[in-house]
């Protein structure tokens, strides 16, 4: 047997002696009240970590560094390719902005435990808003800017925010997205009405700040007294982050405070191989979990300068955008989704733009958010000539579950694998009946509780749904929703979702919410949305629609209206462009739509007619419709 390496030892220790392991990791953090106890008893398959410890995420991200003499170092680099500007903020400057905004929130009546929705583009004020909430113990819920009013309204009704914070506009490639009408529509649609809406004026175009129903962000910040960080119990909810499930109603994943900070701190050191003072760049959006954990909290807690990038990998202005940023800001460790590299590779396959820049500061490139195909992985390895690490995680986990470990002796890379299980996670593959399977056998990717620190506490206001969604299908396990296998050396391969969640350009979306939007069209009798593989975005939604008999003649117009409907209801990021009219959908005898066979058909794969199908003749009918639509 080969000798155990650093990873094996650390991993074994994390599972054999979790209390000792995480207790020692917690000592690396500065607590407002250090915990005496490491774990509580397990409640509903989750566990409270550091139950008697107290801390504050805003304190950890800002005040502790100032106290330790780093106040004049750069905390945030804001690089806006869409505005062609760069702004830098030291910890002292961030403290001033965040503590005043926190004071402003208090002035508006926001207290510990209240919720605040943040609907903002990638601007520093989004980060300040997040940290201002954390400072006073308000629970933030950031909603990604690409979601439409309907999705925002769903989140407002579930989170019931006291206050909403937004900005006048978002800036996309060559276009301005006015946020005010979206926000107003969402608030109108929602049954819950926030007490106030704070608006940050980007001064990009004339926007209705004169509208008295908005509180001016600038004024509120300038005229408020700075608020001190509130000492919070480790299990105080820091945020709610909505993610897509198998229904149209998003799931509000609730994150704790102390366990999250310990996990993120651990990950920066061991997984990402970051050193305090390094420059860390996660090219994602604050609206996703990657943004929460690796644009805001982890780098800031660990005292790595974080880059906040407002732009795209291509077209802002060219496929050299990423390399320009790495070179200009001397980025040491970077994180993005494979889609971003696919987009760059498509426009600049030979790396002409890359060769214009000196990116020698970059030590490691991390990829996550979707499956990384072999050609993208190989291309990035060839271009960057540094370790390219595919790693796997979810909104629910808040930090990686599988990875390679740049802060330890790294493993050799196996193409297609997202690495090995992260310390603290017992990952296993089970079959349909919930029995653990052997090496290289594909099945359902599960985790055996207890979950490590930082893992979702519950779903907001709905612990029953939490237990039902994750812990019921396979008794004794958390089910991730993904399929995959583990090879004989412990390498994990994630092969895709097995539920109705779709991954479009690294964005996790629900096909059910798109179906709900389509079903509202008066011409539609029924529909099913499934994932079609796409060379750029990984997956794209395709809608299979059965029209009512009286609407059969207006097919072209209806198709256009349906794509528009999804855009208006879910948002432009859904990227639903393909609608195929079919005569009927494949169903079981009890009337359940057989989506799996539809997925196989739209991807042109060989298929077996499911034994549960009511009428097998529907399959060739659909194949014919797909042929005609191509
Ligand atoms: N606010 C408003 N609209 C947004 C938005 C936001 N924050 N983000 C995207 N959109 C809109 C876009 O403008 C576009 O609208 P359009 O249909 O009118 O052109 C639509 O949503 C689709 O956007 P996007 O998915 O960004 O597609 P694209 O074709 O413009 O760009 C890529 C393709 C690959 C460059 C882009 O998807 C990308 O950068 N992907 C990486 C994603 C990523 O980092 N994910 C992180 C998860 S970890
Ligand atoms: P999200 O919750 O938005 O982070 O999306 C999580 C989902 O994205 C996972 O359940 C996977 O389906 C997918 N995913 C994330 N990272 C990877 C990866 N490295 N390889 C394959 N799929 C991934």
Exposure of 144 in the CB half-sphere (CA atoms within 13 A): 24
Answer yes or no: is the C-beta of 369 below 6 A from any ligand 2 atom. Answer: yes
**Pocket residue to mutate for ligand 1, from 166, 539, 573, most atoms within 8 A of Cβ:** 573
CB contact at 8 A, 242 and 378: no
Condensed to tens digits (0 to 9), the pLDDT of residues 571-587 reads 999 999 999 999 999 99
Q: Which ligand is nearest to the CA of 403?
A: 2
447 Cα–ligand 2 center, Å = 15
137: nearest Cα among 67, 226, 238, 46 = 238
422 Cα–ligand 2 center, Å = 15
Structure tokens at 314: 């291509």
517 Cα–ligand 1 center, Å = 20
**What residues contact 3, with CB distance under 8 A and at least 6 apart?**
none
Beta strand 333-336 with 279-282: parallel, antiparallel or unpaired?
A: parallel
Handedness of CA 207, 213, 219, 220 (dihedral sign): negative
Q: Which ligand is nearest to the CA of 284?
A: 1
Query: Is residue 377 in some structural domain?
Result: no
CB atoms within 10 A of CB 195: 12
Same domain, 550 and 466: no
At residue 43, does pLDDT exceed 60?
no
Between the alpha carbon of residue 516 and those of residues 181, 234, 258, 267, the distances in Å are 23, 38, 38, 38
Percent of the chain, pLDDT > 70? 97
Same domain, 412 and 286: yes
Condensed to tens digits (0 to 9), the pLDDT of residues 89-135 reads 999 999 999 999 999 999 999 999 999 999 999 999 999 999 999 99
- Nearest CA, atom 41, ligand 1: 340
445: nearest Cα among 402, 395, 508 = 402
575 Cα–ligand 2 center, Å = 18
- Nearest CA, atom 26, ligand 1: 573
Same domain, 477 and 532: no
Q: Which ligand is nearest to the CA of 290?
A: 1
Using DSSP's 3-state secondary structure scheme, residue 538 falls into: strand
The secondary structure element, H or E, covering residue 94 is helix 91-107
**What residues contact 303, with CB distance under 8 A and at least 6 apart?**
65, 70, 73, 276, 277
Last residue of a domain, one of 459, 484, 509: 484
Structure tokens at 327: 């070179």
Locate the ligand 2 atom nearest the alpha carbon of residue 372 and give its number: 20
Condensed to tens digits (0 to 9), the pLDDT of residues 518-540 reads 999 999 999 999 999 999 999 99
Beta strand 232-233 with 54-55: parallel, antiparallel or unpaired?
A: antiparallel
Condensed to tens digits (0 to 9), the pLDDT of residues 273-307 reads 999 999 999 999 999 999 999 999 999 999 999 99
Condensed to tens digits (0 to 9), the pLDDT of residues 299-357 reads 999 999 999 999 999 999 999 999 999 999 999 999 999 999 999 999 999 999 999 99
**Pocket residue to mutate for ligand 2, from 413, 503, 506, 511, most atoms within 8 A of Cβ:** 503
**Pocket residue to mutate for ligand 1, from 317, 339, 397, 400, most atoms within 8 A of Cβ:** 339
Query: Is residue 337 in some structural domain?
Result: no
Structure tokens at 435: 């029995």
Greater model confidence, 386 or 629: 386
Query: Is residue 379 in some structural domain?
Result: no
Distance from C-alpha of 621 to C-alpha of 626, rounded to nearest angstrom: 9
Domain that holds residue 247: 3-311+391-484
What CATH code is carried by the domain that includes residue 27? 3.40.50.12780
Between the alpha carbon of residue 369 and those of residues 121, 240, 505, 605, 621, the distances in Å are 20, 19, 8, 24, 35
Condensed to tens digits (0 to 9), the pLDDT of residues 9-24 reads 999 999 999 999 999 9
Query: Is residue 224 in some structural domain?
Result: yes
DSSP for 405-418, please give it.
-TTSSPPPP-TT--
Structure tokens at 609: 């007619």
At residue 206, does pLDDT exceed 80?
no
508 Cα–ligand 1 center, Å = 12
Tell me what the mean pLDDT of segment 218-243 comes to.
97
Query: Is residue 343 in some structural domain?
Result: no
Maximum alpha-carbon separation in the chain: 73
Same domain, 440 and 544: no
Reported as a pLDDT band with limits 50, 70 and 90, residue 29 is: very high
Answer yes or no: is the C-beta of 368 below 6 A from any ligand 2 atom. Answer: yes
445 Cα–ligand 2 center, Å = 12
Reported as a pLDDT band with limits 50, 70 and 90, residue 46 is: low
pTM of the model: 0.96
Q: Which ligand is nearest to the CA of 416?
A: 2
Structure tokens at 505: 């350009």
Q: How far is CA 229 from the centre of its chain?
A: 26
DSSP for 568-586, please give it.
HHT-GGG---EEEE-S---
Please provide the average confidence, as pLDDT, over all residues in the chain: 95
At residue 553, does pLDDT exceed 80?
no
- Nearest CA, atom 47, ligand 1: 506
Locate the ligand 1 atom nearest the alpha carbon of residue 285 and give its number: 46
Same domain, 172 and 50: yes
196: left (phi over 0), alpha (psi -120 to 50) or beta: beta
The secondary structure element, H or E, covering residue 22 is helix 18-26
At residue 1, does pLDDT exceed 50?
no
- Nearest CA, atom 21, ligand 2: 371
CB contact at 8 A, 23 and 259: no
Answer yes or no: is the C-beta of 160 below 6 A from any ligand 2 atom. Answer: no
**What residues contact 553, with CB distance under 8 A and at least 6 apart?**
none
Query: Is residue 403 in some structural domain?
Result: yes
CB contact at 8 A, 442 and 484: yes
Structure tokens at 137: 């113990």
624 Cα–ligand 1 center, Å = 32
Handedness of CA 392, 397, 398, 401 (dihedral sign): negative
- Nearest CA, atom 10, ligand 1: 146
- Give ligand 1 pocket residues (Cβ under 6 A): 121, 145-146, 170, 172, 177, 283-284, 288, 290, 312-314, 336-337, 339-340, 343, 369, 505-507, 536, 572-573, 575
- Nearest CA, atom 30, ligand 1: 173
Beta strand 402-403 with 420-421: parallel, antiparallel or unpaired?
A: antiparallel
Distance from C-alpha of 498 to C-alpha of 168, rounded to nearest angstrom: 39
At residue 51, does pLDDT exceed 60?
yes
The secondary structure element, H or E, covering residue 449 is none
Same domain, 537 and 599: yes
506 Cα–ligand 1 center, Å = 10
Same domain, 458 and 603: no
- Nearest CA, atom 19, ligand 2: 392
Query: Is residue 553 in some structural domain?
Result: yes
At residue 204, does pLDDT exceed 90?
no
Same domain, 625 and 478: no
CB atoms within 10 A of CB 332: 21
Same domain, 74 and 129: yes
CB atoms within 10 A of CB 585: 20
Same domain, 479 and 523: no
Answer yes or no: is the C-beta of 573 below 6 A from any ligand 2 atom. Answer: no
Answer yes or no: is the C-beta of 390 below 6 A from any ligand 2 atom. Answer: yes
At residue 233, does pLDDT exceed 50?
yes
What CATH code is carried by the domain that includes residue 586? 3.30.300.30
Answer yes or no: is the C-beta of 482 below 6 A from any ligand 2 atom. Answer: yes
- Nearest CA, atom 19, ligand 1: 572
Same domain, 613 and 530: yes
Q: What is the reported pLDDT for 212? A: 53
359: nearest Cα among 386, 318, 330 = 330
Q: What is the reported pLDDT for 161? A: 98
Q: How many domains does the chain have?
A: 2
- Nearest CA, atom 38, ligand 1: 340
Beta strand 251-255 with 458-459: parallel, antiparallel or unpaired?
A: antiparallel
Using DSSP's 3-state secondary structure scheme, residue 268 falls into: helix
Query: Is residue 434 in some structural domain?
Result: yes
Structure tokens at 98: 């965040």
340: nearest Cα among 329, 325, 357 = 325
Condensed to tens digits (0 to 9), the pLDDT of residues 458-493 reads 999 999 999 999 999 999 999 999 999 999 999 999
Distance from C-alpha of 595 to C-alpha of 585, rounded to nearest angstrom: 9
Locate the ligand 1 atom nearest the alpha carbon of residue 343 and give its number: 34
Distance from C-alpha of 492 to C-alpha of 545, rounded to nearest angstrom: 37
Same domain, 141 and 221: yes
Percent of the chain, pLDDT > 90? 90
399: nearest Cα among 245, 547, 311, 296 = 296
Using DSSP's 3-state secondary structure scheme, residue 346 falls into: helix
Burial class (CB in 10 A: 0-12, 13-18, 19+), 129: buried
Strand partners, 308: 78
Last residue of a domain, one of 484, 506, 536: 484
Answer yes or no: is the C-beta of 395 below 6 A from any ligand 2 atom. Answer: yes
Exposure of 77 in the CB half-sphere (CA atoms within 13 A): 23
Greater model confidence, 112 or 550: 112
């Amino acid at each position: 047997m080969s000798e155990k390496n650093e990873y094996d030892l650390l991993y074994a220790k994390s599972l054999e002696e979790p209390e000792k392991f995480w207790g020692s990791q917690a000592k690396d953090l500065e607590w407002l009240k250090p915990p005496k106890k490491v774990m509580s008893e397990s409640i509903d398959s989750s566990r409270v970590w550091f139950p008697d410890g107290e801390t504050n995420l805003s304190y950890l991200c800002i005040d502790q560094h100032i106290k330790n003499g780093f106040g004049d170092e750069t905390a945030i680099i804001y690089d806006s390719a869409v505005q062609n500007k760069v702004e830098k903020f030291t910890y002292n400057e961030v403290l001033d902005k965040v503590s005043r905004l926190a004071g402003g929130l208090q002035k508006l009546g926001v207290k510990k435990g209240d919720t605040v929705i943040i609907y903002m583009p990638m601007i520093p004020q989004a980060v300040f808003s997040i940290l201002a909430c954390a400072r006073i113990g308000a629970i933030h819920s950031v909603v990604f800017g690409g979601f439409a009013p309907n999705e925002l309204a769903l989140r407002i009704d579930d989170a019931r925010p006291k206050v909403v914070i937004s900005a006048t506009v978002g800036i996309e490639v060559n276009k301005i997205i006015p946020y005010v009408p979206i926000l107003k529509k969402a608030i109108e649609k929602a049954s819950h009405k926030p007490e106030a809406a704070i608006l940050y004026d980007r001064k990009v175009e004339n926007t209705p700040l004169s509208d008295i129903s908005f509180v001016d962000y600038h004024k509120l910040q300038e005229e408020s007294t700075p608020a001190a960080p509130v000492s919070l119990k480790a299990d105080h909810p820091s945020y709610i982050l909505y993610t897509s499930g198998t229904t149209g109603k998003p799931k509000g994943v609730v994150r704790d405070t102390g366990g999250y900070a310990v996990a993120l701190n651990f990950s920066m050191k061991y997984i990402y191989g970051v050193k305090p003072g390094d420059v860390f760049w996660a090219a994602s959006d604050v609206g996703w979990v990657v943004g929460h954990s690796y644009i805001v909290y982890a780098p800031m807690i660990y005292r790595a300068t974080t880059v906040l990038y407002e732009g795209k990998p291509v077209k802002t202005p060219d496929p050299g955008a990423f390399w320009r940023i790495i070179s200009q800001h001397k980025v040491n460790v970077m994180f993005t989704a494979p889609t971003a590299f696919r987009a760059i590779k498509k426009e600049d396959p030979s790396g002409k733009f890359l060769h214009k820049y000196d990116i020698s500061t970059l030590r490691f490139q991390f990829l996550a958010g979707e499956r990384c195909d072999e050609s993208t992985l190989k291309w990035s390895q060839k271009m960057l000539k540094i370790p390219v690490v595919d790693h796997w995680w979810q909104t629910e986990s808040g930090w990686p579950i599988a990875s390679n470990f740049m802060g330890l002796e790294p493993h050799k890379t196996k193409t297609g694998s997202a690495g090995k299980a992260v310390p603290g996670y017992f990952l296993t593959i089970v079959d349909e009946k919930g029995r653990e399977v052997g090496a290289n056998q594909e099945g359902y990717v599960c985790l055996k509780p207890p979950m490590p620190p930082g893992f979702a506490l519950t779903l907001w206001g709905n612990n029953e749904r939490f237990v039902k969604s994750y812990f019921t299908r396979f008794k004794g396990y958390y089910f991730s929703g993904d399929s995959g296998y583990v090879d004989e050396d412990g390498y994990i391969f994630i092969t895709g979702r097995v539920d109705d969640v779709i991954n479009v350009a690294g964005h996790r979306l629900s096909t059910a919410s798109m179906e709900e939007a389509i079903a509202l069209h008066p011409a539609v009798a029924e529909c099913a949305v499934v994932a079609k593989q796409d060379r750029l975005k990984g997956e794209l939604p395709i809608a299979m629609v059965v029209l009512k008999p009286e609407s059969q003649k207006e097919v072209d117009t209806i198709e256009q209206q349906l794509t528009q409907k999804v855009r208006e209801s879910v948002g432009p990021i859904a990227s639903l462009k393909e609608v195929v009219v079919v005569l009927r959908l494949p169903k079981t005898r009890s009337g359940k739509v057989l989506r799996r066979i539809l997925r196989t058909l739209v991807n042109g794969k060989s298929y077996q007619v499911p034994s549960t199908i009511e009428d097998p003749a529907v399959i060739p009918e659909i194949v014919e419709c797909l042929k005609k639509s191509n």
